[in-house]
């Protein structure tokens, strides 16, 4: 089965810095990857996704990088703002509709 | 906007009570899921359903059952609540084709005393 790990439980950054949150996965057949943001008291919300035929995808202030060689993906948040403070999860899917979730990284943004 | 709603944000129940958590989605998704979320353990899948009246066990089904009588509604049942079932419960839904993201509800914080 899939396992998802290699995360920092907590990442502290200053407002305006760039943030990088990492995930590693184990199954080389995994082909769909999602980042979720979970604010306090809310359910996880979709941020950005990437499929295995890509190695980079950009959204508004967010970029996801996928390195299939080392089975690693990262979420980069540019110019981090206090509103970005949340727990960030990666989810990995390998051809089914059931994701395997990482344990999450709590991003703390200091003003 | 996709909407997944859960019947309660907070619940307090006594040990041994039967507890019902309900989830409703409005996107005509085939799949629905129940997770529990505990500090340090991430999201753990309890049950999922890929069609009406169909269900499959997830990673931690013990002590739980589910019901899906209508496509938009998925219920989680704690037959006899115990203190170790105190947790945040999250419902999610998705399309049945592979590689589609899940949409989550706001969660139910259940405390069993």
Q: Smallest CA–CA separation between B32 and chain A, in Å? A: 10
pLDDT interval class at B101 (50, 70, 90): confident
pLDDT tens per residue across span A63-79:
999 999 999 999 999 99
**3-state DSSP call for residue A72?**
strand
Q: What residue in A sits closest to B36 (Cα-Cα)?
A: A43
B42 and A104 within 8 Å at the Cβ level: the answer is yes
pLDDT of B99 above 80: no
User: Which residue in B33, B99, B104 is closest to A93 by CB distance?
Assistant: B99
pLDDT interval class at B26 (50, 70, 90): very high
What's the rounded Cα separation, in Å, for the pair A10 and A31?
27
- The alpha carbon dihedral of A18, A24, A30, A35 has a sign of negative
Residues B31 and B101: beta-carbon distance below 8 Å: no
């Amino acid at each position: 089965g899939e396992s998802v790990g290699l995360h920092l439980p907590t990442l502290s950054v200053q407002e305006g810095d760039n943030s990088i949150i990492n995930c590693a996965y184990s199954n080389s057949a995994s082909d769909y990857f999602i980042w979720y943001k979970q604010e306090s008291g809310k359910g996880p919300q979709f941020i950005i996704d990437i499929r295995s035929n890509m190695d980079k995808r950009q959204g508004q202030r967010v970029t996801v990088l996928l390195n299939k060689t080392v089975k690693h993906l990262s979420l980069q948040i540019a110019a981090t703002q206090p509103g970005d403070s949340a727990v960030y999860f990666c989810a990995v899917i390998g051809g089914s509709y059931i994701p395997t979730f990482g344990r999450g990284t709590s991003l703390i943004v200091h003003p | 906007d996709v909407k997944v709603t859960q019947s309660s944000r907070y619940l307090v129940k006594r040990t041994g009570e039967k507890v019902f958590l309900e989830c409703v989605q409005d996107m005509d998704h085939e799949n629905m899921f129940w997770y529990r979320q505990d500090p340090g353990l991430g999201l753990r899948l309890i049950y999922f359903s890929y069609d009406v009246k169909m269900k499959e066990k997830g990673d931690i089904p013990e002590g739980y059952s589910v019901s899906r009588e209508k496509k938009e509604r998925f219920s989680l049942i704690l037959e006899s609540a115990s203190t170790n079932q105190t947790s945040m419960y999250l419902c999610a839904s998705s399309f049945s084709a592979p590689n589609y993201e899940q949409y989550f509800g706001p969660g139910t914080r259940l405390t069993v005393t």
